[in-house]
Structure 1
């Protein structure tokens, strides 16, 4: 599920965690795509498919985002980037 915010950020959730993507901050380094292609696929819509990965591996990949364009949180508490 994706949801667009006023600052152009988009949220994607699998029910357990939510990824926030800030496209204006993204440097398109492709770390996310190369690291977890099943979840992060720029050739599909939406380009983040949370159902294709385990929560912990998604969190680990988001933490590797060099620009900070990706962040995530458990739906009941914040997760550090």
Structure 2
């Protein structure tokens, strides 16, 4: 299955689209990073690594994860 990776040089967000339940937690918590209308839809450079780690931990489906 296809995954997408978005890196800022410190961390990498891994997105597994088939796991996504579209709860919107990511968009609500960090709208400057997550915009499902745009491509790429994750703009990792718009938040600090810690903000991203904290937000990804709230993903209810596990579709988003962090790789260091």
Q: Which 5+ residue runs of structure 2 have no aligned equivalent?
A: none
TM-score normalised to the size of structure 2? 0.96
Q: CA RMSD of the aligned region, Å?
A: 0.6
Q: Which digits, 9 at most, give the CA deviation of each residue in 1:4-61, with x for residues without a partner? A: xxx2111110111000000001001000000000111112110000110011001100
> Larger Rg: 1 or 2?
1
Q: Count the aligned residue pairs.
A: 68
Q: Which 5+ residue runs of structure 1 have no aligned equivalent?
A: 1-6, 75-81
User: Greater helix percent: which structure?
Assistant: 2
User: Greater strand percent: which structure?
Assistant: 1
TM-score normalised to the size of structure 1? 0.81
Which of structures 1 and 2 has the larger relative contact order (alpha carbons within 8 angstroms, sep 6+)? 2
